[in-house]
Amino acid sequence: MKSKTKIGIFGGTFDPIHNGHLYIAENARLKHKLSKVIFMPSAIPPHKQTKHISEASHRLEMCNLATQENEYFEVSDLEIKRKGLSYTVETLKQLKDLYGEDFQIYFICGADMLADMPNWYKASDLLANNNFIAVARPSYSLKEIVKNSTLLQKNIANLSLINLMPIKISSTGIRNNIKDGKSIKYLLPNKVEIYIEKNNLY
């Protein structure tokens, strides 16, 4: 029986994308032998409706700039083109229909996202019918997160937990550095830094 081609989907706001995101994606790819990782900026994340988010076109272009030197990384505007709220359960269903039976799709997320996932739209359906790669983040214990959620425990077979050396970089921290006049050098790819400066973001 022919084995399925594995694809990683890395969804997020990416406002902005940074080296921590790239580090997570590369390690998930290597551990699970993914043929590629697709970065997918969300249009409007349901959990961030009340927050100011940079225009989708800027976030998409920053993802393109950040990933262009890795042949295993791609960027998709699927959620942005769909517009409206970006529900992961709908995105993964659309991707399964697009790629077909010969592909196995893994959704890559941080531990903080995994902890909140039982509260997501159609969470039971989402967790029961999809594969997830959850990566540890500072101050989040993957084992504790699963232990504290009956829904995650029920679907543990669909979860792969990866503990990596923590990199304390966040999009929020980068935006705050810019507001405070501090350097963001070495926190994200140089091309992304130049793009942010050129377009006066944050």
What's the pLDDT tens digit per position in 41-72?
998 766 555 468 999 999 999 999 999 999 99
Q: 165: Cβ–Cβ under 8 A, 6 or more apart, which residues?
A: none
Is position 202 within any domain?
no
The partner residues of 63 in beta bridges, in order of sequence, read: none
What's the pLDDT tens digit per position in 142-200?
888 999 999 999 999 999 989 888 788 999 999 999 999 999 999 999 999 999 999 99
Number of domains in the chain: 1
pLDDT of residue 45: 62
Range of the domain at 38: 5-169
Per-residue exposure over 169-184, b if at least 16 CB sit within 10 Å of its own CB, e if not: bbbeebbeebeeeeeb
CATH no. for residue 159?
3.40.50.620
pLDDT of residue 76: 97
pLDDT of residue 46: 64
